[in-house]
Structure 1
């Protein structure tokens, strides 16, 4: 059963040296959770990977629970960065190619660390308030809405809120399912193409000349 931490339980670094150490610990935790999952990882492994003593780690993170929370916060930032970069690079492509490019970048990022994503799903309760899922979803919705509103294929002043809601939840479900089933019956190309076509279908009502 996951431990529900008080969000203020982790010591907050103030000096630059301490902030750099925390970043090093979180990166080490990201690597160890990616390799061993939540249950298989230990704080000793993480401290060793970070090149610090276990005592130094415990100064900032009281246990694995605190570490996985910070790793997921950073994961949310990485997902947003990946999506934003893919959107920027695909801005001049036709709509289908642009959507496919963004989906491919997002999926590839998720498939790189299946054990890490399994750790998120298995350990952090969906109702936990310790991870700002609402903030992440709102920012992602803003990013997608801005991307679509700039596309010449999308009608000006089209109502995008419900479309973005459906797109986000469809993509999230497929990404997580692909990570869970990786190595069994997941065909990366078919997943990307099918999801691309599904999103294009969602966009038909707001496209120009529909």
Structure 2
């Protein structure tokens, strides 16, 4: 059975990682502290432990990746999170981003469509540190209407367009952060729900995500 240990070396590498993403423009100290507090190597296969704190994405199986730490920090910063807000995350993946949100003391409802990844995260002991995380197996395009409305929505996969059902599940005044675009490059957008029918849209930097797919897998 795998043992989860966080050595002084790994903690030191994590501090270096935080310094590097601060230099790249991340200014939210709460987000930086969250990145520093979470052992990223716990979320990766042991083969990646030696390079877990490089600022890049790594495969986690099922054609999915654990996002680059800078990307995780960038999206988290754009959400402008406040403690105890309800956050809908589309694309649980390894669970790393969900735990960053948990470290920021928000209530997380996270959806994964890949059954194998969902089962792995459900059995992941580290997640028990964050009792505000709730995990769901389902179609991200459908959201979680039973638990709506949400203060914030975070999409961690490339969407060809903004999903209408996710907009409907936001509170008025709520924000969605989502990468939108083609397969190679997407533009990061922040959507603010001004009223039940009106939205403001802000455009930020370009990123590259795995595609957001519909439906569930067996």
TM-score bracket relative to the smaller structure: under 0.3
Specify which structure has the bigger relative contact order, considering alpha-carbon pairs within 8 angstroms and separated by 6 or more residues: 1
| TM-score, reference length from structure 1 | 0.27
Decide which structure has the larger Cα Rg and report it. 1
Greater fraction helix: 1
